[in-house]
Amino acid sequence: MITGKINLKTADKHVVNGADSFVFVYTVGKEEWMLGGHIFICDRHISDFAWIQPGDGTGTILNNSESAGYATVKSTSKAVFEIKYDFYYNTWHPWEHIFQITLKKGSLKEGDRVTIVFGDKSGGAPALRIQSFKEKEFKFRVFIDPERKNEFTELKDKSLSFEILPAKWSDIEVVMPSQVMPDKAGRVVVRAIDQYGNTTALPEGEMFLLVDDRYKVSVPKNGRKKGYVEIGVDKIKPYLKNMVFLDTYVPTEVHLYYPKNKYEIIGNPILQESLIKEKKLFWGEIHGQSYLCDGTYYPDEILKFARDESRLDFAAITSHDCAMENGEKDYQKCVDAANKLNKPKDFTAFIGMEWSGATPKGGDHNIYFKGDKGNFFTSGHYLSKVKAYKPEVLKELTLPPWTKEWMLEVPVHADLAKVYSDADPNETMIIPHGGGRICNMEYHDPMLEPVMEIQSGHAVFEFLACEALQKGYRMGFIAGSDDHRGSLGDSHTQMRKSPLGYTEHSGLVAAYAQDCTRESIWKAFQEKSVYATTGARIILNFKLNDNIMGKSVKMDNPKESRQFKIEVFGTTYIRQVELWRNAQVLKIWRPEWFEHVIEFTDTEPIDKIVWPEKTIFGKEVKNVNKTISGREIKRAQAAYFVKVIQSDGHMAWSSPVWIDVK
């Protein structure tokens, strides 16, 4: 019978990237302790608290006691413990950061106390550094297995939870729609962030937008404590003036000034008209996790962040199918949140999920649904995959106490090929994801996969995009984040190195669509009239003979030249514009200015252009005539796309245009 108690002594509130000591006191109850019994203290895999440095199991201060995050364990019974810290105890995902305490010598009896200190400063060590992102309720979980049966019981106490607050403001962001729309009022969001990217209170005092270097628009004082305020586009619309340069509208500059700190920042470019007739430019982010799997915050909170703080036009939550403790019931909560927050022509929320199969079975792919329902195409809970482990590995595994029988079952859709066969192409869209269990490019269905992720919070996956083109896949390019911090649309990098590899700022996808509805945005994805950025709201247009990005163009004469037009308006100086042809750079321009319009003619005969036979890593690539799903594939004679690199490192990629010779 487990009657032991746990208590954590720490502050109720902490500040991101601050430091403190965390003192856990376990009071032994009626449970009988045997040598080899365990105490596990866990936190979630996305947390970037500093690594805990295990010290001595007797509470003695050792030579490494000056290490940040130094940890000690001691008991009133003078027991001796073996202690270690495992940052990737994967069968306990997402609670896989585990401080493990094992009783090695002595005894523990009712009334004895075990004191565990994270960030023990008594030997001169700094305290434990706190994670870099805010969280309303950060939680440690504590489990004990006193009889070494690998049967863990959780000890619960409200003291194990506390709030992590943002730091003071470091930067102010101005986020505007990329063009003024007659049928949509539009919002300008002024938002303060700390140096780690968390929304924090806006400073007090005079603050204003300066439009076209002449017109002042005051930033409201009410609501600044929540970290962001909104200004209707109608407040600045009368002052917007578009100049014409090479038959292209050039955006008006909007600056934010905070005189008290002599702070100035320029907003993203804003146009009065779209670069593509009858279409408007919308911004979205459709790849993020929630607390229902291995992320932070719940689906409705994340979608509200995307709408209000990131100021996105469309978004989706894609909780991992493999990490939801309640399986389809948790997925339904994601579905309900998307349907509740979806407001046509104001904010579009799609239903989505991340199919998280092993790479040999297809690898990570996000699945989206056009309407208000979505099938739960699960690859299986992550515990269902332990059966594939080697016997020597299985011996070392401990299943978590929340294990349920269904979690160990291998489901029908454990292979992506089965998803292809069961998904309705009219209602379902699948997008390959390069992070995590990296997507397998041998898997493809052109009816279901119109686009792919070229960048996420994990890395830039340009090499996968080129491989897809070389194989003959006609896929547009988008970007996302795989955000786990609850900040969809503006997810920042981690403070420590991690096997998860969250080293990139979250990407965004821009869609040229008729309006901001599920139907129109969906159509833009199907037509590939979308492009990717690393998070900067760069305006980009790319045309071949007046055919916009995403089009397949047929040419009668293989000797005919191709006329390209590239229009790019950056959020800062544009360092480089690249035109790629058949997965290789064809031409480079270096404008060194905010905007650039390029007109270029490729005169090389189309029938003389060849595809490279190997990827950039030397892997041979063969033209695919038929996909794993049985669909016919015909590789284009040529495929072109544009890449933009800004002086601040931000990038953008257009979707390709393809050329077929009749």
* 146-205: pLDDT as tens digits: 999 989 999 999 999 999 999 999 999 999 999 876 555 578 999 999 999 999 999 999
The predicted structure's pLDDT at residue 356: 94
Lowest mean pLDDT among 119-123, 162-166, 332-336, 439-443: 119-123
The better pLDDT of the pair 142, 91 is held by 142
CA distance 5 to 111: 10
Q: How many helices (H) and strands (E) does the chain have?
A: 6, 42
The predicted structure's pLDDT at residue 435: 81
Sequence-ordered list of residues with C-beta below 8 angstroms from that of 383, at least 6 positions apart, any chain: 91, 399, 403, 407, 408
pLDDT in tens, 458-468: 889 999 999 99
Q: How confident is the model at residue 354 (pLDDT cuts 50, 70, 90)?
A: very high
C-alpha 575, offset from chain centre: 26
Q: For 260-264, what is the mean pLDDT?
A: 92
pLDDT in tens, 38-86: 999 999 999 999 989 887 656 555 555 667 789 999 999 999 999 999 8
Secondary structure (3-state) at 216: strand
Q: What is the CA radius of gyration of the chain?
A: 27
Residue 82: its H or E element = strand 80-86
The predicted structure's pLDDT at residue 423: 97
Lowest mean pLDDT among 107-121, 236-250, 290-304: 236-250
Angle subtended at Cα 613 by Cα 612 and Cα 616, rounded to the nearest 5 degrees? 70
Angle subtended at Cα 270 by Cα 264 and Cα 273, rounded to the nearest 5 degrees? 165
The predicted structure's pLDDT at residue 613: 87
The better pLDDT of the pair 391, 333 is held by 333
Whether 245 has a pLDDT exceeding 60, the answer reads: no
DSSP letter at 506 equals P
Instruction: Locate 13 and state its tokens.
Output: 């509130």
CA distance 624 to 599: 33
CA distance 364 to 430: 10
Q: How confident is the model at residue 265 (pLDDT cuts 50, 70, 90)?
A: very high
Residue 427: CB atoms within 10 Å: 14
Q: For 523-546, what is the mean pLDDT?
A: 97
Q: For 389-409, what is the mean pLDDT?
A: 80
Q: How confident is the model at residue 218 (pLDDT cuts 50, 70, 90)?
A: very high
Sequence-ordered list of residues with C-beta below 8 angstroms from that of 275, at least 6 positions apart, any chain: 248, 249, 281, 539, 541, 567
Secondary structure (3-state) at 382: helix
Alpha-carbon distance values, 295 to 41, 102, 320, 420 (Å):
19, 29, 9, 27
Residue 412: CB atoms within 10 Å: 11
Secondary structure (3-state) at 202: coil
DSSP letter at 158 equals G
Whether omega for the bond prior to residue 251 falls within 30 degrees of 0, making it cis, is no
The predicted structure's pLDDT at residue 237: 75
The mean pLDDT of the chain is 91
What is the residue whose two structure tokens read 């041998």? 442
CA distance 308 to 443: 37
Beta-bridged to residue 608, according to DSSP, are none
Alpha-carbon distance values, 355 to 96, 295, 320, 337, 351 (Å):
21, 15, 7, 19, 13
Q: For 115-119, what is the mean pLDDT?
A: 95
Residue 78: its H or E element = none
pLDDT in tens, 477-508: 999 999 999 999 998 887 665 555 677 888 99
The predicted structure's pLDDT at residue 247: 53
Secondary structure (3-state) at 536: coil
Whether 648 has a pLDDT exceeding 70, the answer reads: yes
Whether 1 has a pLDDT exceeding 90, the answer reads: no
Question: Is residue 554 within 8 Å of 660, Cβ to Cβ?
Answer: yes
Q: How many residues does the chain have?
A: 662
Q: Roughly how many angstroms between the first and final C-alpha of the chain, as a whole number?
A: 78
Q: Report the sign of the C-alpha dihedral through residues 319, 321, 323, 325, in that order.
A: positive
Q: How confident is the model at residue 246 (pLDDT cuts 50, 70, 90)?
A: very low
The predicted structure's pLDDT at residue 295: 94
CA distance 240 to 111: 73
Question: Sheet containing 97-105: which strands, arranged edge to edge?
Answer: 80-86, 97-105, 38-43, 141-145, 153-155
Sequence-ordered list of residues with C-beta below 8 angstroms from that of 404, at least 6 positions apart, any chain: none
The predicted structure's pLDDT at residue 565: 96
Which range is most confident: 124-138, 247-261, 386-400? Answer: 124-138
Q: How confident is the model at residue 343 (pLDDT cuts 50, 70, 90)?
A: very high
Whether 338 has a pLDDT exceeding 80, the answer reads: yes
Domains of the chain plus CATH, in order, are: 5-165 (2.60.40.1510), 171-266 (no CATH), 280-379+414-661 (3.20.20.140), 382-410 (no CATH)
CA distance 571 to 551: 27
Q: For 467-477, what is the mean pLDDT?
A: 96
Q: Are strands 171-175 and 584-589 parallel, antiparallel or unpaired?
A: unpaired
Whether 286 has a pLDDT exceeding 80, the answer reads: yes
The fraction of the chain above a pLDDT of 70, given in percent, is 93
Quote the pTM value.
Answer: 0.94
Q: For 311-334, what is the mean pLDDT?
A: 96
DSSP letter at 238 equals G
Q: For 507-536, what is the mean pLDDT?
A: 98
Secondary structure (3-state) at 545: coil
Count Cβ atoms within 10 A of the Cβ of residue 163 and give its class: 0-12 exposed, 13-18 middle, 19 or more buried. middle
The predicted structure's pLDDT at residue 64: 56
Question: Is residue 36 within 8 Å of 126, Cβ to Cβ?
Answer: no
CA distance 541 to 529: 10
